[in-house]
Chain A
Amino acid sequence: MVKEISEKIKESISTVEPVEIPYEQRGYHLAIEATKANIVDVVSFFDKAGLYLEDMCCVDYIDYLEIVYLFNNHNKVCRIKVTLKVDPEKPSAPTISHIYKIARWYEREIHEFFGVLFEGHNFMTYLFLHDQIDFYPLRKKQVPVPEEDKRLLNSFNPEEQEDGFFLNLGPQHPSTHGVLRVVVKMNGEYMLSAEPVLGYLHRMHEKMAENRTYQQFYPNAARMDYLGALNFNLGYVTTVEKLCGIEVPERAQYIRTITAELNRISSHLLWFGAFVADLGGLTPFLYTFDDRENILDILEAVAGSRLTYSYFRFGGLFNDVDDDFVLNVKKFIDRLRSRFSMYERLVTGNVIFINRVKNIGVMDKNYPLKYGCSGPVIRSIGIPFDIRKHEPYAVYDRIDFDVATGTNGDNMDRYLVRIKEMEISLNIIEKALKDLPSGPVKAEKIPKKLKPPKGDIYHTVESPRGELGIYIVSDESDVPYRMRWRVPSYSNLMTFPELAEGSLIADAIATLGSYDLVIPEIDR
């Protein structure tokens, strides 16, 4: 696959020179240096080859800015890094938002953080920041925001620009699960258009990462996605371990898998309750919280916290688990299995519920390519894309498990996929518990000051919401030079405007609920 693409791109675009990269070290197979002249051709080539835009970010190397495009395949891992060097004095680059729709948001983000102007982008407003910033936050040197940029950034006022009935769903609204704001143009009960407005919980974790050592960044990862904190924690430690070449003991790997899966179940349980509450059924919410409480108790006993865990450390775990843990997890598995039939009778089989979710919010088959969405959202369309299978980390390659998929890509499928995933997670935990080896849970000789070798790395894990990717650039010091987080809800939410167009407000709320959004993760 990699060879094939490498040859094909050389054939069709003569000016590029693909370089093969050792995947084990860097996390990508192929690196391509593009120029302003041929970047659009390169990107359209990948679009035609059926690859999706996994991530897009920018790194400030002082002499030049480097825009990084990462492409990947849904069937088999084939990650390609395309870089584009940009002049730091007056940075600009051609837009690719007409090829990949998700680039629309990525480009807005790069614009406000680095000041790179994307030529041809038709909506260069703020994504996260407020309109009073003086300097571009992620540039290594202070670069003031020019006047024309400020004007551009502050131009999102739909109510002043056109006539119509505008409704602000959020940032304080019961169904936006946090502080998402969606500006909706309405015609009676129907939505004409919807534009998500982000940034109400923006804390600039990427900038924070540049100001603290690798160890000091542990807690930040948990604060991004507070429902899947262990998965984010796991993603962060595995990335840095891969970058430094740290070997993790067997027992620690198994415990990581078990606790991460428990965390996934707790996240899905909360979503389940909240989704039905969005549809007006308030009782299941309390039932799932009752189940979830068990997981929180189990994890509290080993990790010390109930929600924002930082249980994993570079090279292992903070603490070993005891026999009580194993016993309680086994008890919980039995308990949750017996509860699924009750949920089936209470919710899944309810006529009102079925009428509210079936054939609502149907996603096209081309959404994953256009938007790069992932997790249960993409699996509901029928694509068995799961990082746990594709690029196994921890001990997922040693455990046999299914990937739940749907067929239609409607709200019902997204619901069923998550329910199925909880059962699969239970199976994974059960198998991992059976094989749990004894031994140490911490690697020896991890330096107090971790100084990874020079270079960059991209690593992904499957969070409860989808593909979490972390891109780290190291300059051999004990602080990351640049840390970029590719978060799953970001690209999932991007599909919302298209799905909401022309739908009833009640259906749009149901669709929004079916994404399982966690806003602090999107805002970072």
Chain B
Amino acid sequence: MCALDSIIAVVGKEVIRLIAGLIGVLIVVVVNALILTWVERKVSGHMQKRIGPKEVGPYGLIQPIADGLKLLGKELLTPANVDKPLYYLAPVVVFIPVLVSFIVIPFDGFLQVKDINVGILVILAFSSLSVLSILIAGWGSNNKYSLIGATRSVAQNIAYEIPLLLSLLPVVFMANSFSLRDIVEAQREGWFVWRWQFFAFLIYFIAATAETNRTPFDLPEAESELVAGFHTEYSGMRFALFFLAEYTNIFIASAIATTFFLGGYLGPVLPGIVWFFIKTYFLVFVIMWFRWTFPRVRFDQLLNFSWKILIPVAFANLILTGGILKL
């Protein structure tokens, strides 16, 4: 006990908390991705009149772990003509921002690694970094499909980050704070999705689907056109990192939607963390539902939709909300 006290005294309570939090986040990220791959396979299976994984463990629950072990055990192939530093860097770069975003998400009233007073800005800033890693992967792979996928990704992310931000700002106005916990607490009287911000929620959800490269907006990895897009040349654990990041991004996008519009951890009877996960996983399910129902949009349709519809509507909503609050 004495040793622990002295360590705390040297490095400070805050740092210990951060380190413990990061380890916790890492565990959550991995476990969450494992659960989501299982859920996705079950959801797609049942939507397609199949049953999905069932052999490994009860209801195939151990399947993701078996897959993960397989990917870990695979040889890391490096194609001959890749730009080596960039090629190795990309899977790491894709994973870091994902971890940082978790720090500010309030899972429950007390369960949050750190409540920063500009929390949402931290998340948006770091999630913008993921497009950098896709660009690095696409360029470093020295593959034409990867390159096309990467350029698509850049255009798509730039186009959809604007409505994403614009749809979150009205909520910030209403809660009068950038801190995620304050925003949740401001919803004690009612969720923002029912308090004038339904359109903002819709815009956010569409933009987030595009931001996470999911069907119908999965153009960077459109397999019928670009084979596998930016990660065509990646295999084994490097591919797994992209995969992990993709599922974690879906989770973060849904978690932010929950926090901003659906009252976060607030809810009757059940503990807050349960409510948080129920709401988040429901949104994740809806995103999966999209994927297994819709065909893919075309590149120009995607950009037109963002610049000509989503951004003007989001702007109008922002101005309206600001005006009403001022009055």
Residues of A within 8 A of B (CB): 165, 167, 173-175, 188-189, 276-283, 286-287, 290, 346-347, 350, 352-353, 355-356, 504-507, 509
Q: B277-306: which have CB < 8 Å to A?
A: 292-301
Tell whether, in the assembled complex, residue B300 and residue A504 are in contact, meaning their CB atoms are under 8 Å apart.
yes
Q: Nearest Cβ in chain A — how far from B222, in angstroms? A: 7
Residues of A within 8 Å of B145, CB to CB, are: 167
The interface bits of chain B over 42-62 (1 if a CB of A lies within 8 angstroms of the residue's CB, else 0) are 001001111000000000000
Residues of B within 8 Å of A167, CB to CB, are: 144-145, 148
Given contacts A286-B49, A356-B298, contact A505 B225 (CB under 8 A): yes
The answer to whether B215 has its CB under 8 Å from any CB of chain A is yes
Residues of B within 8 Å of A356, CB to CB, are: 295-298
The residue on B at minimum CB distance from A276 is B295
Interface of A is mostly: helix
Residues of A within 8 Å of B294, CB to CB, are: 280-281, 350, 352
Besides A281-B296, A282-B48, A282-B292, 15 new A-B residue pairs in contact (Cβ under 8 A), listed by A number:
A173-B227, A174-B227, A175-B225, A189-B148, A189-B152, A189-B300, A277-B224, A286-B49, A352-B216, A352-B295, A353-B295, A355-B297, A504-B298, A504-B299, A506-B298
The total of interchain contacts (Cβ-Cβ below 8 angstroms) comes to 77
Please indicate which of the listed interface residues A167, A188, A278, A282 has the most CB atoms of chain B within 10 Å of its own CB: A282
Residues of A within 8 Å of B222, CB to CB, are: 280, 506
User: Lowest 8 CB-CB distances: which A-B pairs, in order?
Assistant: A280-B296, A281-B295, A286-B48, A279-B295, A175-B224, A280-B295, A278-B224, A506-B298
Q: Nearest Cβ in chain A — how far from B180, in angstroms? A: 33
Interface size on B, residues (CB 8 A): 28
The answer to whether B161 has its CB under 8 Å from any CB of chain A is no
Q: Show 24 residue pairs from A and B whose CB-CB distance is below 8 angstroms, ordered by the A residue.
A: A165-B144, A167-B148, A189-B299, A276-B295, A277-B224, A280-B294, A280-B295, A280-B296, A281-B296, A282-B44, A282-B48, A283-B293, A346-B293, A347-B295, A350-B294, A352-B294, A352-B295, A355-B301, A356-B295, A504-B298, A504-B299, A504-B300, A505-B148, A509-B224
Bound-state Cα–Cα, A376 to B49, Å: 30
Residues of A within 8 Å of B223, CB to CB, are: 174
Q: B134-162: which have CB < 8 Å to A?
A: 144-145, 148, 151-152
Bound-state Cα–Cα, A352 to B206, Å: 14
Tell whether, in the assembled complex, residue A283 and residue B292 are in contact, meaning their CB atoms are under 8 Å apart.
yes
Residues of A within 8 Å of B224, CB to CB, are: 174-175, 277-280, 509
The interface bits of chain B over 114-145 (1 if a CB of A lies within 8 angstroms of the residue's CB, else 0) are 00000000000000000000000000000011
Tell whether, in the assembled complex, residue A350 and residue B49 are in contact, meaning their CB atoms are under 8 Å apart.
no
Residues of B within 8 Å of A189, CB to CB, are: 148, 152, 299-300
Tell whether, in the assembled complex, residue A286 and residue B295 are in contact, meaning their CB atoms are under 8 Å apart.
no
Tell whether, in the assembled complex, residue A280 and residue B216 are in contact, meaning their CB atoms are under 8 Å apart.
yes
The residue on A at minimum CB distance from B152 is A189
Tell whether, in the assembled complex, residue B49 and residue A287 are in contact, meaning their CB atoms are under 8 Å apart.
yes
Bound-state Cα–Cα, A167 to B216, Å: 24
Bound-state Cα–Cα, A279 to B218, Å: 11
Bound-state Cα–Cα, A278 to B296, Å: 9
Residues of A within 8 Å of B227, CB to CB, are: 173-174
The residue on B at minimum CB distance from A506 is B298
Bound-state Cα–Cα, A131 to B295, Å: 41
Bound-state Cα–Cα, A350 to B151, Å: 28
Q: Nearest Cβ in chain B — how far from A181, in angstroms? A: 14
Bound-state Cα–Cα, A505 to B298, Å: 9
Bound-state Cα–Cα, A504 to B301, Å: 11
Q: Nearest Cβ in chain B — how far from A359, in angstroms? A: 12
